[in-house]
Structure 1
Amino acid sequence: MSREWQAFWLAIGFLTRVPMLIQIDYSQRLMNQSSLYFPIVGLFLGVCYAGTYTLLTLAFSPLTSALLVVILHLWLTGAFHEDGLADSVDALGGGHTIEKRLEIMKDSRIGTYGTVALVMALALKVALLTEVNPTWLALLAAPMVARLTPLLIMGYLPYVTDPDKSKSKPVADGFSRARLTIAATFTVFASLVLTVFEPWLLLWGLCATLGVALVWGGYLRSQLGGYTGDSLGASVVFSELVLLLGLAI
């Protein structure tokens, strides 16, 4: 139980800027175990976003409130997944070989493809948040559902890139499919509970996780031969957008 508690806080420290309030006996195995808690960390973020949005709408318009919540998201997560999206699109758009794509992906600079993808993704997210009803439910569910997608991709694709220089190496090495099953079960159960407020949530949640994992994962297999840490971050952004698109219909 002590190791699981540490794994939970390590997941928070890995995915957010929230300081870890306990001492962590860090190891690669513990980092691997922390993947189980990614959807739970997403639910924690969702509670923060939904609560903040509800309070903001008491003083501001839905559009302004949505923009402020997205800013809060970027601050809380350090734009972790958005950075992965920009790097992935730059690499896949500008590289003609696997080696060149991986080289571009490691470059800290952002190019035209990544800039356009990042701006459009954030603009679309804000637009969809003003259309979905209730918005608080979308803000609550999307971070949780989306953080299951990278675990699904890790479950069936090989890891590519230089493992010694990658932040996601500890999660990728020896990824546990048993813990993936637990994480998926938690996400499905939580989505079922939330269908009280939105009957279509579970369906669109499956599209956002399985659909993105299959389509984006298949594309990564054809273009890179597997996944990278940046491409996992991009999968979170894609999953959130798919879920919001579905809920906005």
Structure 2
Amino acid sequence: MTQQADNNRSLQRCIQDEWQAFWLAVGFLTRVPMLVRIDYSQTLMNRSSVYFPLVGLLLGVVYAALFVLLDGFWNTGISVALVLAFHLWITGAFHEDGLADSVDALGGGYTVARRLEIMKDSRIGTYGAVALIMALGLKGLLLADANSVWLALLLSPVISRLTPLWLMRFLPYVTDPDTSKSKPVAEGFSAKRLAVATAMTVTVAALAGALVPAILSVAVVALLWGGYLWRQLRGYTGDALGASVILAELVFLLALVAA
């Protein structure tokens, strides 16, 4: 009986930890307030990353529903623009900021140290501004041109948020570990949790009939962007992970529209 009670307590603790990890992922990626008490630890932050695609799926459901509602009042282009504005608000332009910082650093720095220094600068430069404008503009055009806009809005957030997990697994983490908010996520990401996140994302894509664009987008960005980061930084940073989400979204939408 004692062993059974210990097993039950262990199971309950595991469920509680995973529940907190999920809400920690929600709080990390969005402005949505965490509705449960979090016993924060670096280990819990590490575990939360498996839920990034799930948070993306929840965001996608909200985006798709919002588009369907708005499309009843305005044309497709205006509705897509309003959904993108909501996306930037609900996420705090989290990944877009990473894209701008990464492009500024990789375009303006000639050494690893200088690139990391530029990446920490909160100011946006010419390279970052141009990249941000181009990325948001292309995303809006691709969404408006999709055969099923609501489906593209539903799928792109979940699929794109798998990409940084692959980078975290196979590249070393670089930058100042004492000042980076991404440090807790960057350490100790297991192959088992990567497999779980990948299986969930693949299942969603397969059910939606978009398996090929999904696999293509994650693989292309993980290989090309990951390889570029290795050559330029010898690893990845938190900003580079955010940029990978934007790049994966664009590649996925390009493949989806072309298909």
Please give the TM-score of this superposition, normalised by the length of structure 1.
Answer: 0.97
The secondary structure found in structure 2 opposite 1:164 is coil
What's 1:89 paired with? 103
Query: Which of 100, 116, 120 is 2:114 aligned to?
Result: 100
Query: Which of 185, 193, 216 is 1:207 aligned to?
Result: 216
Matched to 1:44, the amino acid is L
Matched to 1:203, the amino acid is V
Matched to 1:95, the amino acid is G
The alpha carbon displacement at 1:208 in A equals 1.0
What's 2:170 paired with? 156
What's 1:198 paired with? none
The secondary structure found in structure 2 opposite 1:130 is helix
The secondary structure found in structure 2 opposite 1:165 is coil
What's 1:66 paired with? 80
Q: Distance in 1 between matches of 2:112 and 2:85?
A: 34
* Cα offsets for 1:151-202 (capped at 9, x unmatched): 001110000000111111001111112101100011001111111xxxxx11
What's 1:10 paired with? 24
Query: Which of 112, 120, 125 is 1:111 aligned to?
Result: 125
Q: Which moved more, 1:171-180 or 1:36-45?
A: 171-180
Query: Which of 231, 239, 242 is 2:248 aligned to?
Result: 239
The alpha carbon displacement at 1:70 in A equals 0.3
Q: Distance in 2 between matches of 1:69 and 1:192?
A: 25
Q: Distance in 1 between matches of 2:229 and 2:92?
A: 24
What's 2:186 paired with? 172
What's 2:91 paired with? 77
Q: Distance in 2 between matches of 1:175 and 1:103?
A: 26
Q: Distance in 1 between matches of 2:187 and 2:166?
A: 14
The secondary structure found in structure 1 opposite 2:69 is helix
What's 1:185 paired with? 199
Residues 1:20 and 2:29 are matched in the alignment:
no
Deviation beyond 3 Å, 4+ runs, structure 1: none
The alpha carbon displacement at 1:16 in A equals 0.3
Q: Distance in 1 between matches of 2:25 and 2:207?
A: 24
Q: Distance in 2 between matches of 1:148 and 1:167?
A: 19
Matched to 2:91, the amino acid is T
Which runs of 5 or more structure 1 residues have no equivalent in the other structure?
A: 196-200
Larger Rg computed on CA atoms: 2
Q: Distance in 2 between matches of 1:207 and 1:83?
A: 24
* Structural RMSD (CA): 0.5
Q: Distance in 2 between matches of 1:109 and 1:155?
A: 29
Please give the TM-score of this superposition, normalised by the length of structure 2.
Answer: 0.94
Residues 1:132 and 2:150 are matched in the alignment:
no
What's 1:217 paired with? 226
Q: Distance in 1 between matches of 2:45 and 2:135?
A: 29
Matched to 1:216, the amino acid is W
The secondary structure found in structure 1 opposite 2:249 is helix
